[in-house]
Amino acid sequence: MSLLEVDGLTVRTSDGRTLLDGVTWDVAAGARLGIIGESGSGKSMTALAVLGLLPAGMRATGHVRLDGTDLLALPPRRMDAVRGAQVAMVFQEPLTALDPLMTVGRQISGPVRLHQRLSRTAAREEAARLLRLVQIDDTERVLGSYPWQLSGGQRQRVSLAMALACRPRVLLADEPTTALDVTVQAEVLELLDDVVERTGLALVLVTHDLPVVARVAQDLVVMRDGAVVERTTVPRALAGDGAAYTRELVDAARAVTALPTPEAR
């Protein structure tokens, strides 16, 4: 049964240009959905529209249902209660997503205190627990650090801990490994795997990197020019059993990197 359903999602600008056209997909609790496509295909805009974070001058229509509740129909105050608490997002570049003037401890414990109504001490203990969940052991040092004092991999782990702070049911990860080197990228992908296994949340992984999707996701949505080309599975895509555009993406990825065979999935 689907937990999050995106149905006919369309985004237009104030001057009538269509940026997303009838985007439709769904994801169940505990499932891992990858959304791929070239730059400008509408992947990240879809994630922003789901969270109600579109830039000024853009309007979303259609339906985004979380367990039957249409998020696009919610007033701003009710959407504030959903954002972070039920649907959370990990952004591409943690150095810009995190506040450089606030310690990690304050940035993680703030949402915890707001949504879970914990005391300051209990919220800090929860922040430390979340850092351990994302495999950061020196929690006291990291809690007292500013983002710019941490490595890229540590910052992305902190961003993931923040996203998990309010125990969301859906995690949107928008290009979470693009800014990381290959070794750290592998660690973060393994961490995402582990978090889904432990928490049972639904993961929606947005990326242009097909090997990343092949490592984490089960199901696949392929986008181009603001529309869905096809909904398939990762093994079918790797086997070349799909739309012509999907086959082009797979062939291009295989030309520059190693992709697993369908049998290895």
Assigned domain for 223 exists = yes
- Tell me the C-alpha distance between 90 and 51, whole Å: 12
62-97 confidence digits (pLDDT tens): 999 999 999 999 999 999 889 988 999 988 777 788
Assigned domain for 237 exists = yes
Per-residue confidence band for 263, with pLDDT thresholds at 50, 70 and 90: low
The total number of structural domains that make up the chain: 1
Greater model confidence, 185 or 2? 2
Per-residue confidence band for 32, with pLDDT thresholds at 50, 70 and 90: very high
Q: Which of 134-138, 179-183, 234-238 has the highest mean predicted lDDT (pLDDT)?
A: 234-238
For residue 191, the domain's CATH number is 3.40.50.300
- List, in sequence order, every residue forming a beta bridge with 90; answer none if it has no partner: 173
Assigned domain for 201 exists = yes
Q: Which of 170-184, 185-199, 207-221 has the highest mean predicted lDDT (pLDDT)?
A: 207-221
- Tell me the C-alpha distance between 196 and 198, whole Å: 6
Task: Give the pTM.
Answer: 0.88
Structure tokens at 42: 């509408």
- Tell me the C-alpha distance between 122 and 112, whole Å: 9
pLDDT, position 220: 97
pLDDT, position 262: 56
Assigned domain for 146 exists = no
pLDDT, position 165: 84
Assigned domain for 108 exists = no
pLDDT, position 178: 73
Q: Quick one: CA dihedral 150, 151, 153, 155, positive or negative? A: positive
122-170 confidence digits (pLDDT tens): 999 999 999 988 888 899 999 999 999 998 888 988 988 888 888 899 9
Burial of 199 (0-12, 13-18, 19+ CB in 10 A): middle
- List, in sequence order, every residue forming a beta bridge with 222; answer none if it has no partner: 36, 230
- Tell me the C-alpha distance between 35 and 213, whole Å: 8
What are the two backbone dihedrals, phi and then psi, of residue 84, each rounded to the nearest 5 degrees? 95, -45
What CA–CA distances, in Å, run from 45 to 49, 145, 191, 219, 237? 6, 32, 25, 19, 23
Task: Taking residues 17-29, report their average pLDDT.
Answer: 97
Tell me the average pLDDT of the chain: 89
- Tell me the C-alpha distance between 24 and 22, whole Å: 6
Assigned domain for 109 exists = no
Structural domain span for residue 48: 2-98+170-260
Assigned domain for 151 exists = no
- Tell me the C-alpha distance between 250 and 191, whole Å: 25
pLDDT, position 102: 94
Assigned domain for 224 exists = yes
- List, in sequence order, every residue forming a beta bridge with 134; answer none if it has no partner: none
